């Protein structure tokens, strides 16, 4: 699609009347045995400039190039407000989303796994219903449980909840009922939806598991686990420091751990990494080539050894300490893979003969399990993060990667690592549009539960889009909500006490009567 910046002005685009005149002229010329190539151009061959998202949302395409008068804004005082209609809803998309989750068996699984947390003959809001309520809350764009106060006035949301929205105190108490086993079960359920789409990929294809951490600054002195961390951007700020693990091919989450703000990445995260790799391997199949990509925090012997023992490949950005920088600067066997306009080498790669002290342990003595060190130096500003200059008077910047893939081309592996950058906007989406940094409780375990529920909601929304509206797979959460969830409608009781939901005309995937 041609961008608006390159679009011609209105005077450069012929109008429909001009084409009719040209076609008549062409008919006269053809009757005389001549051709008019300009008149043979039809409006269908003109470039079309429109916003695809407006069409999906049911909006009218702009036609300013066909108008001769200026548009005048309507006076809002001429619009009269009628009687309130208690049957109007702004979340009609919850019907299609909820029906899809019901078909997947999400409601049944939630009841089976977590209903034991609330028992007794006086129980009104069972835990399975409460968790489905929170999933609907988060898919609508609310960040905290307090958002129930606004949605309690929507008739469709209330009906889907069972006829009444529970009080805030009830919902706050419910997320505090989870202990370690239940949190583990919820994390496994979230990850199962994250790997569900991998079964459609071709056998033997590459699958990438990206691992990253993020800082969630918090406000409040009584929040459990809110400790000052080591990130210089949030120096001295109480925060959480969760780990997020995604599958790059589906952009879904296959593992997550909430940690206090004063923790760092290292051997303590091995259980979460191993579980994520095993889940991805089971879903992708034994023939898939699985890579685990981590930033420089993964330059840890224990982490690399754990990934290697699971039969997977790691691709890690190396820490540029003095020993490694000395080995790179002394290398004289560089392979040029790209040139600039003047024919000078602009990008070069090399395998560096280097080993850290921790790599001499037993599991790394075998030549087939040797850690391969790949260095890349470039004249162009294509490096992410801190740029290291090792050669005096040279424009080259250097960076290095660690891997146990000893067969693939060095430049291919270096470029493959660049795909890990996709986890950064995904975490940004989690913060901006799912509010993972907005906590609802002083309890650490309760905040862990809400984090997992938000990531669970993201995975369910991605699976819903992949199966019901695959042409929207590249859209981010705010636009997906506008197209699929935040749809106005009206509930009507039809004949036979059948409840019917009327919606404005939308795109082809919106259910209609």
Over the stretch 31-89, which tens digit does the pLDDT of each residue have?
Answer: 666 655 554 454 444 444 444 577 777 777 777 788 888 889 999 999 999 898 889 99
Percent of the chain having pLDDT more than 70?
85
The answer to whether 113 and 185 have CB atoms below 8 angstroms apart is yes
Give the model's pLDDT for residue 24.
66
**Cβ of 163: how many Cβ atoms within 10 Å?**
7
Res 416 pLDDT > 80: yes
Q: What angle do CA 316, 321, 327 make, to 5 degrees?
A: 90
Taking alpha carbons only, the member of 27, 150, 47, 36 closest to residue 90 is 150
- In the chain, helix, strand, coil percent, each to 5? 45, 15, 40
Give the model's pLDDT for residue 201.
75
Strands 243-247 and 397-403: unpaired
- Rg of the chain taking only CA atoms, in angstroms: 29
What is d(CA 125, CA 295) in angstroms, rounded to the nearest whole number? 44
Give the model's pLDDT for residue 45.
45
Residue with tokens 């598991």: 209
DSSP-derived 3-state class of residue 345: strand
CA dihedral 14, 20, 26, 27 (to 10 degrees): 170
Give the model's pLDDT for residue 67.
84
What is d(CA 273, CA 270) in angstroms, rounded to the nearest whole number? 5
Give the model's pLDDT for residue 50.
42
- In DSSP terms, 247 is beta-bridged to 209, 252
Give the model's pLDDT for residue 385.
56
CA dihedral 188, 191, 192, 195 (to 10 degrees): -150
Q: What is the H or E stretch that residue 245 is in?
A: strand 243-247
Res 300 pLDDT > 50: yes
Res 391 pLDDT > 90: no
What is the band of 355 on the pLDDT scale with cuts at 50, 70, 90?
Answer: confident
The answer to whether 434 and 143 have CB atoms below 8 angstroms apart is yes
Give the model's pLDDT for residue 26.
65
DSSP-derived 3-state class of residue 212: strand
CA-to-CA separations, 121 to 167, 171, 416, 417, in angstroms, rounded? 19, 19, 57, 55
Res 316 pLDDT > 50: yes
Tell me, what DSSP letter sits at residue 486?
S
What is the band of 512 on the pLDDT scale with cuts at 50, 70, 90?
Answer: very low
Dump pLDDT digits (tens) for 6-37.
444 444 444 445 555 556 666 766 666 665 55
């Amino acid at each position: 699609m041609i961008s608006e910046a390159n679009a011609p002005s209105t005077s450069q685009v012929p109008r429909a009347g001009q084409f009719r005149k040209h076609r008549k002229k062409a008919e006269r010329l053809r009757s005389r045995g001549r051709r008019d190539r300009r008149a043979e151009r039809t409006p269908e061959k003109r470039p079309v400039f429109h916003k695809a998202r407006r069409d999906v949302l049911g909006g009218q395409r702009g036609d300013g190039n066909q108008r001769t008068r200026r548009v005048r804004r309507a006076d809002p005082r001429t619009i009269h407000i009628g009687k309130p209609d208690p049957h109007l809803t702004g979340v009609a998309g919850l019907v299609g989303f909820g029906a899809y989750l019901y078909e997947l068996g999400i409601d049944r699984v939630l009841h089976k796994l977590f209903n034991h947390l609330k028992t007794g003959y006086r129980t009104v809001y069972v835990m399975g219903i409460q968790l489905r309520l929170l999933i609907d809350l988060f898919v609508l764009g609310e960040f905290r449980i307090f958002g129930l106060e606004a949605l309690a006035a929507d008739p469709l949301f209330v009906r889907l909840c069972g006829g009444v929205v529970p009080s805030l105190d009830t919902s706050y108490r419910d997320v505090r009922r989870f202990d370690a086993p239940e949190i583990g079960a919820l994390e496994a359920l979230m990850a199962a939806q994250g790997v569900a789409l991998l079964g459609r990929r071709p056998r033997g294809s590459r699958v990438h598991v990206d691992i990253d951490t993020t800082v969630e600054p918090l406000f409040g002195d009584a929040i459990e686990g809110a400790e000052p961390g080591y990130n210089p951007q949030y120096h001295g700020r109480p925060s959480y420091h969760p780990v997020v693990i995604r599958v790059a091919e589906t952009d879904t989450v296959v593992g997550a751990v909430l940690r206090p703000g004063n923790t760092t990445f290292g051997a303590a995260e091995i259980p979460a990494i191993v579980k994520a790799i095993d889940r991805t391997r089971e879903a992708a199949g034994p023939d898939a080539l699985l890579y685990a990509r981590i930033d420089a925090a993964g330059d840890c012997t224990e982490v690399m050894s754990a990934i290697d023992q699971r039969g997977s490949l790691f691709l890690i950005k190396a820490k540029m300490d003095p020993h490694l920088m000395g080995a790179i600067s002394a290398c004289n066997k560089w392979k040029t893979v790209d040139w600039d306009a003047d024919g000078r080498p602009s990008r070069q790669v090399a395998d560096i003969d280097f080993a850290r002290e921790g790599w001499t342990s037993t599991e790394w003595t075998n030549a087939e399990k040797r850690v391969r060190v790949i260095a890349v130096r470039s004249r162009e500003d294509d490096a992410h993060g801190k740029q290291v200059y090792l050669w005096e008077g040279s424009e080259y910047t250097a960076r290095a990667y660690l891997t146990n893939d000893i067969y693939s081309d060095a430049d291919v592996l270096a470029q493959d690592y660049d795909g890990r950058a996709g986890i950064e906007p995904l975490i940004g989406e989690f913060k901006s549009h799912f509010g993972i940094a907005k906590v609802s409780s002083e309890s650490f375990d309760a905040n862990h539960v809400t984090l997992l529920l938000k990531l669970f909601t993201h995975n369910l929304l991605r699976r819903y889009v992949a199966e019901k509206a695959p042409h929207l797979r590249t859209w981010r959460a705010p636009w997906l909500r506008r197209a699929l969830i935040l749809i106005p409608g009206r509930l009507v009781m039809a004949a036979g006490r059948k409840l019917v939901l009327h919606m404005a005309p939308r795109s082809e995937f919106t259910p209609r009567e």
